[in-house]
Structures are given as C-alpha cells and as structure tokens.
Amino acid sequence: MTQLRLGDTAPDFEQKTSTGPIRFHEYLGDSWGVLFSHPADFTPVCTTELGYTAKLADEFAKRNVKVLALSVDGVDSHNQWINDINETQSTTVNFPIIADDDRKVAELYDMIHPNASATATVRSVFIIDPAKKIRLIITYPASTGRNFNEILRVIDSLQLTDSHSVATPVNWQDGDDVIIVPSLKDEAVIKEKFPKGYKAVRPYLRITPQPNK
C-alpha cells in the first residue's frame, strides 16, 4: 500500500469520471488541485459537501484550483446522485466525480482504511500544487463533514508562503499579519522584502503585515 507524504509527487492515473475519462496530471495542467474522496454516493454528508464545493466554484477559480471528488461507485450512479445534489443543495455540480469502482485511485492514495471500513473510502483531502507535489493531507472520519473554508484558507497560505519569505500564524486569514521566516536574518534583505516594517516579539517571532496586500 502506498503511503503518501507531504512533498511526494501525487500519483498520476487515468480513470472514468462523471464528465468523461481523465488523466489526472493532464487534467490539472498548471493549476493547483484538490482531490477529495467520499464513502459512497447517495449519502447525506457527502451530498452537503459536494453541494458546498460547487458553490465555491468562483473561489477555487480565482486561486487557480481544479477540484475532483471521488467515490468507489460507478459513473451512472454518480450522474444520478449529481441530480440529487443539484436539487437538494440548490447548486450545479461543476467538477468531475471520479468513478473509482475498481478502487485504483483509492489504493494509490490509501483512501480505504480497513479498520474504519473495508469497502468505503474515508474522507481524504489532498492539496496538490502545479508541480504535482502533495502539499496537504487531511483524513476525516465518515461521520464528519469537512470544512471547505479551511481548505481555501490553507491554499491561500500555501500560495502566499510559496511567493514570500513568510509563514502564517494560528487561525490566520487572508489579509492578517504574517510571520517572517526565522531563516531570514539579513536586515537589508528584510527591509527590502518588508517595507512596511515588522515587530519583533522575540528574535524568532517577527510579525509583519501581509506583504502582497
């Protein structure tokens, strides 16, 4: 069984989806990706999750993120379920749902945890960057719906910290102050990178306004 870790290359695959066959890396192209799995079609928590994800289409688009869902049911089941999602959640599902009925992707990404369920995928989430590297892995139990606002928050943090020499503190939201990374010590470089200045709470804890705002 593959055990994926942060920084690993996300395994590529070809699989059927509700919008036709895809090759994963080709589908992502130069975008970020969110791959998230569901225990089964026609389940209540999943229905709310996919509906909410569809409503976030503009938020994902402005962050250059493509979304894919997955369960181990087939394409016909997915398409029938999408009708339910659209009707009950007052939205339109606008992303592919992978039909992983042969469990190829679930096995690649270790989405089936036998001690939780021998057949259903747990609620796995993977955030993948444009270099196809895995940047976040979260696993939820089947009974607990995910917080997609948190997933957007992490994407904001990753995209910010990739382009600036900062880290984001506890409960950070886009626009809040950030932390200058401890490895950056040259004061001339710091002044150039952070013209708004910073507050040194401790030598290792330097707070500065978000640099791209």
**Contacts of range 166-175, beta carbons closer than 8 Å, 24 or more positions apart:** 166/208, 166/210, 166/211, 169/207, 174/210, 175/210, 175/213
Query: Which DSSP string do the residues of 113-128 spell out, in sequence order?
Result: -TTT-SSS--EEEEEE
Determine the residue type at 116.
A
**Encoding tokens for residue 165?**
């020499």
Q: Where are the beta strands (DSSP E) in 49-163?
A: 65-71, 97-99, 123-128, 134-140
Q: Which residue out of 10, 28, 35, 46 is catalytically annotated? A: 46
- For the question of residue 46 being annotated catalytic, the response is yes
Q: What is the CA radius of gyration of the chain?
A: 19
Active-site annotation, residues? 46
